[in-house]
Amino acid sequence: MLEKALAAGHRVRALARRPQPARDGIEWIAGSLEDHAALDRLVGDADAVIHIAGMVNAPNRAAFEAGNATGTANLVSATVGAGIWRLVHVSSLAAREPLLSDYGWSKAEAERHVSVSPLDWTMVRPPAIYGPGDAELLELFQMAARGLVLLPPGGRLSVIHVDDLAAFLMLLAEREGGETYQATYEVDDTRPTGWSHVEFAQAIGRAVGRRSVRTFAMPSPLVRLGARIDRLLRGDKARLTPDRAAYFCHEDWVSSTALQPPAALWSPAIATEEGLASTAAAYRAKGLLR
């Protein structure tokens, strides 16, 4: 996202919890979504605000609420207070299923805070995001390189390359009013019915240089058991929590065709097979993939 903004010639302010290296064109604002003074400095005299920050993994509902719902409410308040009206809010497909997981509930709450505001907002619900630098799908690439990919129960998902998503967010930030005014979009690689888990695992297999990979779809009870074991072994650092297990086992994470942006507004530039191959190459260059 930062790369796209800088390449377009924008000056950027970005919120960071930890010190960041100095970089031309970026003003780092130390703070968090709980820090009202930092948020005021962040939005300042900006032309537009892109809200990407959020939590995808947390120990309980209260932590998800603080990071995703209350944090968004705080940013909305700061944006309104500064007299800035353009807000691009990055949500999640999980917001469609608020009863399924604490994460989904918190993202739906975040959407509610945005939708009741007077801002010229646009919400974007990305599906699974992949690309160089992504840690969430790295384990799938590593399993595919070994020849066996463990999958959740049967279901389908949509995906999008991080560069395509960043390009869409930049486009939205530079627009005001019109068809994007208080609109919600679900974006993906435009594969009409998404990917089955097996299809996507095989595509990752090809990306890492395997003609085929074996897949094993784990029954839902086994996924949930694995989540409890991961929590026992790694505590708050567990990657597969019970909340994430509930999310993973849901059958339909395919973007809605009714909510996709018009082709005249935006369409992805990166074919998924090509994007997966470049992602695998980037992982290898960093020593993350054999």
Q: Residue 43 and residue 14: Cα distance in Å, rounded?
A: 9
Q: Where are the domains of the chain?
A: 1-125, 129-159+190-253+270-290
Residue 73 vs residues 68, 70, 77: alpha-carbon distances, Å? 9, 5, 6
**How distant, in Å, are the alpha carbons of 17, 37, 41 from that of 20?**
9, 19, 17
Tokens of 114: 């945005």
CA distance 147 to 143: 6
Contacts of 251 (CB under 8 A, 6+ apart): 153, 154, 155, 156
CB atoms within 10 A of CB 77: 15
Of 173, 132, 182, the residue nearest 266 (C-alpha):
173
To 5 degrees, how large is the angle CA 146–CA 152–CA 153? 130
d(CA 289, CA 208): 9
- Please list, in sequence order, all residues whose beta carbon lies within 8 angstroms of the beta carbon of residue 258, skipping any fewer than 6 positions away: none
Q: Is the pTM of this model over 0.75?
A: yes
Report how far Cα 205 is from the mean position of its chain's Cα atoms: 23
How is domain 1-125 classified at the architecture level of CATH?
3-Layer(aba) Sandwich (3.40)
Digits of tens for pLDDT over the chain (290 positions)? 888 888 888 899 999 999 989 999 999 999 999 999 999 999 999 999 999 998 888 888 999 999 999 999 999 999 999 999 999 999 999 999 999 999 999 999 999 999 999 999 999 999 999 999 888 899 999 999 999 999 988 899 999 999 999 999 999 999 988 899 999 999 999 998 999 999 999 999 999 999 889 999 988 888 878 777 876 766 666 667 777 888 888 999 999 999 999 999 999 999 999 999 999 999 999 999 98
Measured CA to CA in angstroms, residue 270 lies from 90, 103, 166, 277 at distances of 20, 28, 12, 11
